[in-house]
Amino acid sequence: MPGKRWTQPERESLIRQVKQGKHLPQIRIRARSQAAVNQHRQRLREAGLLGQDSKRSLRLWTMREIRSLRDYTNAYRLGATGLVRAGLLTGRSKDSISQQMRRQGLGDPRRREASRATHRLDVEEKAALAEFLRTEGSKLASAEVADKFRISPKTVTAYRRRMKLQLSWQEARNSERYRQLAEELRQKFIRRTRARWKKWRVERRRTLQKLQWRMKRRTANGKMRRCIRCGESWLELKEFFPVTKRRRRGIVTYTMSRSCRACRAQQQKP
Ligand SMILES: [Zn+2]
């Protein structure tokens, strides 16, 4: 649905604000909604008019990346900093990762709350928040506004009280519904992730069994080793039992795990 044509001064203002490093909720163009600003910003980006910013933001997250991000954060409980440090999701900055985590509702909710509590708005952000609450955000749940501005819902509520823009009880109830909905989505996501890991574990064992079968066919009878956890016998090879290498005073020793890789996989994942 194309709106009114963007004028040159509007366009220039948008470019200037993006280059100042402002995020969508902080960008203000008179009589333009956030959606319209977003759409036009995307167009400018594609036209290469936003300089440095364009490259970084244009690279959309692939489903595969999002899936990895979900798995990493759930399985290893890593935050954005941890992920970058671990060298996972290469090519994504810490900011980009934490932004995506927020979008996907990932990460430790307590830690997220804590980081919000410490996020202080600067003068411009304060003004943007006030403006947002007066206009587009007037009927939005505090939690939703809080998400946009990366602050706590409490702060939003305090602003509303001060500005005499409190939500009616009906709107507040919607706000509560929003919170519940978010929680439901989170639970659903957790259930789905668990199911995926379970499937993965089963597949992992099956893959190892197939591999062993193929190897046995090719070579003569190799030495077998019994896993102390599942009792299954596997070829005594690093393909089936993890091997750790240790170096002490120049002497290298190899230790083979007593539990098989299929069981190891089981231990590692939630
Ligand atoms: Zn085992």
Domain definitions of the chain by residue range = 63-116, 123-172, 185-267
Specify the DSSP element, H or E, that contains 234.
strand 233-235
- 226 band by pLDDT with thresholds 50, 70 and 90: very high
Taking every pair of Cα atoms in the chain, the longest distance, rounded to a whole number of angstroms, is 82
**Rounded CA separation 233/98 (Å):** 43
Span from the CA of 233 to the centroid of ligand 1 (angstroms):
8
Q: Which amino acid is at 138?
A: S
Specify the DSSP element, H or E, that contains 146.
helix 142-149
Span from the CA of 209 to the centroid of ligand 1 (angstroms):
11
Predicted confidence at residue 57, as pLDDT, reads 46
- 254 band by pLDDT with thresholds 50, 70 and 90: very high
pLDDT above 80 for 77: no
Question: Which has the closest alpha carbon to 68: 26, 101, 113?
Answer: 101
Span from the CA of 190 to the centroid of ligand 1 (angstroms):
26
- 18 band by pLDDT with thresholds 50, 70 and 90: confident
Span from the CA of 197 to the centroid of ligand 1 (angstroms):
17
Predicted confidence at residue 108, as pLDDT, reads 64
pLDDT above 60 for 26: yes
Span from the CA of 3 to the centroid of ligand 1 (angstroms):
63
Asked whether the beta carbons of 75 and 107 are under 8 A apart, the reply is no
**Rounded CA separation 73/79 (Å):** 7
pLDDT above 70 for 112: no
Burial of residue 150 (number of CB atoms within 10 Å: 0-12, 13-18, 19+): middle
pLDDT above 50 for 33: yes
161 token code pair:
């009280």
pLDDT above 70 for 196: yes
Which residue did the predictor score with more confidence, 230 or 176? 230
Q: Taking the alpha carbons of 122, 125, 127, 133 in that order, is the dihedral positive or negative?
A: negative
pLDDT above 70 for 114: no
Predicted confidence at residue 253, as pLDDT, reads 92
pLDDT above 70 for 152: yes
Mean pLDDT of 151-171: 84
Predicted confidence at residue 55, as pLDDT, reads 44
**Rounded CA separation 188/182 (Å):** 10
Predicted confidence at residue 256, as pLDDT, reads 95
Asked whether the beta carbons of 208 and 234 are under 8 A apart, the reply is yes
Burial of residue 14 (number of CB atoms within 10 Å: 0-12, 13-18, 19+): buried
Span from the CA of 85 to the centroid of ligand 1 (angstroms):
31
pLDDT above 50 for 1: no
Which residue did the predictor score with more confidence, 52 or 235? 235
**Length in residues, the chain:** 270
Mean pLDDT of 15-33: 87
pLDDT above 80 for 241: yes
- 259 band by pLDDT with thresholds 50, 70 and 90: very high
Beta bridge partners of 226: 233
Predicted confidence at residue 110, as pLDDT, reads 62
pLDDT averaged over every residue in the chain: 81
Beta bridge partners of 245: 254
- 75 band by pLDDT with thresholds 50, 70 and 90: low
